[in-house]
Structure 1
Amino acid sequence: MNIILGGTGRVGSATAQALLKRGEPVTIVTRDATRASALKRDGARIVEANIRDASALRDVFRSGRRAFLLNPPAAPSTDTDIEERANVAGILEALNDSGLEKVVAASTYGAIPGERCGDLTVLHEFEERLRAQPIPAAINRGAYYMSNWDSMLDGVRAQGVLTSFLPADLAIPMVAPADLGEAAAQRLISAVGDLELRHVEGPERYSAQDVADAFAQAVNRKVNVDIIPLANWKESFIRLGFSELAANSYACMTRTVVDEPAKPENPVRGTTTLQAYVGSLVDDRDR
């Protein structure tokens, strides 16, 4: 049995689907079982559990042999660093005496030691703590999610504008959730000793201008890129509903992506192009 944390999110559900297509048994861990109805129809077992309830989560882990570990994002209105580190602590505690033979963890490109720089620092801590515990742990670092652009669709359609924190011409690694799920599934069923750090991205590297062009093609209208100046980043995050602490953290993470974009030499490359991803997004919204 494969245990999937965050199984109703984009990457977790993609991992579950990739396993189910292979005939592998899957248990989805979620806080709301109603969100997992499609996965249940596809054959997954659904368990409601809070990842901070270490005892309950350990019981779920004991029903399986391998687990996909994803630290779900905290609500941006909170102190996201504190909340997400509490998630890490709960997951790590639940692994104790769980009997799992291997775990696969989702991390991020550019993970760095430190604090208050969003996923870059929280997930680096997650990686280090996983390496320090006895269960063999494989880590997949994912590139910038193509799904981060999903919320731009309404603005693109209404005004023909794509708002971006990233420079229009900065090409960075991006990846579709489906490709992250496929990569995670492959590692869940591979040998226990398959533990090297891997980077996962799409078939090419893309810029905000490429994203605008992909939307333009999908919605059949001209789309311009509106770049948010660095001086306005924190204020922009706050207007989007972020707490001041979360806004500072996300601004730090965004600045690091812009100033020091991670570009590993030999990543695992998925097959989903940006154009295909955006086209599918638009088609799904139109149904």
Structure 2
Amino acid sequence: MHIILGATGHVGSALAQALLERSEPVTVVTRDAHKAEALRTKGAHVVQADVFDTHALHRIFMGGHRVFVLNPPAAPSADTVAEEHRSLRAILSALEGCRLEKIVAESTYGAQPGEGLGDLGVLYDMEQALGAGPVPFSAIRAAYYMSNWDASLDTARKEGKVYSMFPSDFRLPMVAPHDLGQFAAKLMLGPAESSGPHHVEGPQRYSPGDVARAFSEALGKPVELVETPRAQLEQAFESLGFSSAAARSYAAMTRATLDQHYEPPVKPVRGEVPLRDYIVALVRKSSG
């Protein structure tokens, strides 16, 4: 049995569907069972549990052989680093004593030690903790999710604008959730041995300007890219409802990405979904 945390999110649901398509037994863990109804109809076993309920989570893990770990993102109105460390501790505690064959976990490009670096620091700590455990472990270091641009559809459609914390011409690795789900399924079904970290990105690198052009093409109207100046990152995040602590953390994470404060992968795993196809599908789905 494959146990999947975060199965109602973009990546977790893509993984669940990839495994179900291969007729694999899947248990999806979610705080809201209604959100997993589509997966239930496809054959998944749905269990409702809060990630902070360590005892319930431990019982669920005991019923599986392989586990996919996705530490849930904290609400931006909270101190995201503190909350994500708290959820990580709960997951690690729930995994203790479970006789699992393998753990696959979703991490991120640029994962590195350091305080106040958002996911970069939290997910590095996750990698270190799981890697030091007794269960074979594989980390997926995912590129910037193309789904992060989903929220831009509304402003692109209504204002003809896409807002970005990155400069228009800054090319960065991006990846579609579908490609991450497919690669995660490969690891979940692979040998019970440690490997990675595996860097996964799309067919090529893209810029925010490419995103605006993709929206323009998909919507059939001009769409411009509006950049946030580097010096105004904290203010920009706070204007979106982020707490002061979260704004500082996300701004630091953005600067680390801009300055490429990490060792780039020599041979990343390449997904198949181009940015243009992802944006076109997003627009079509919203109009359906």
TM-score range, shorter chain: over 0.9
- On the 8 A contact 1:172/1:261 being kept in 2, the answer is no
Aligned to 2:286: 285
TM-score by length of 1: 0.98
- 1:222 is aligned to 222
Q: Which 5+ residue runs of structure 2 have no aligned equivalent?
A: none
State how far apart, in whole Å, the 2-side matches of 1:172 and 1:240 are: 23
- Further displaced range: 212-221 or 192-201: 192-201
Describe the superposition over 1:29-85 as per-residue Cα deviations: whole angstroms up to 9, x where unpaired. 001101100000000000011112221111101111001000010000001011000
State how far apart, in whole Å, the 1-side matches of 2:226 and 2:20 are: 41
For 1:170, the equivalent position in structure 2 comes to: 170
Q: Which residue number corresponds to residue 213 of structure 2?
A: 213
> Is the counterpart of residue 112 in structure 1 residue 109 in structure 2?
no
Q: Quote the Cα distance in structure 1 between the aligned partners of 2:222 and 2:165.
A: 20
Contact 2:137/2:193 (<8 A) preserved: no
Report the residue type matching 2:265 in the other structure.
Answer: P
Cα RMSD of the aligned pairs, angstroms, is 1.0
Say which SS state the counterpart of residue 195 (structure 2) adopts. coil
1:161 Cα deviation from its structure 2 partner:
1.1
Structure 1 position 251 matched with structure 2 position 278: no
Aligned 8 A contact 2:17 2:39 in 1: yes
2:131 is equivalent to residue 131 of structure 1 = yes
Task: Tell me how far 1:115 sits from its aligned partner.
Answer: 1.2
Deviations 1:130-181 (A, max 9, x none): 1111111110100001111111111111221111111111111000011111
1:204 match: 204
**Structure 2 residue identity aligned to 1:173:** P
2:164 counterpart of 1:195: no
What's the CA shift string for 1:91-136, capped at 9, x where partnerless? 1111111111100000000001011111000100000011111111
- 1:187 Cα deviation after fit: 0.2
CA distance in 2, matches of 1:133, 1:87: 18
Amino acid at match of 1:206: Y
Taking the aligned partners of 2:152 and 2:265, their CA distance within structure 1 comes to 28
Rounded to whole Å, the distance in 1 between the matches of 2:127 and 2:193 is: 17
Aligned equivalent of 1:156: 156
Unaligned runs of 5+ in 1: none
Report the more deviating stretch, 190-199 or 58-67.
190-199
**Contact 1:101–1:135 (CA<8 Å) still a contact in 2?**
yes
Superposed structure 1 runs of 4+ greater than 4 Å apart: none
Q: Give secondary structure in 2 for the equivalent of 1:140.
A: strand
2:122 equivalent in structure 1? 122
| 1:196 Cα deviation after fit | 2.4
Percent identical among aligned pairs is: 51
CA contact (8 A) 2:4 2:67 kept: yes
Letter matched to residue 178 of structure 2: A
Question: How many positions carry a matched residue from both structures?
Answer: 287
Question: Which residue in the other structure is 1:140 paired with?
Answer: 140
| 3-state secondary structure, aligned to 1:203 | coil
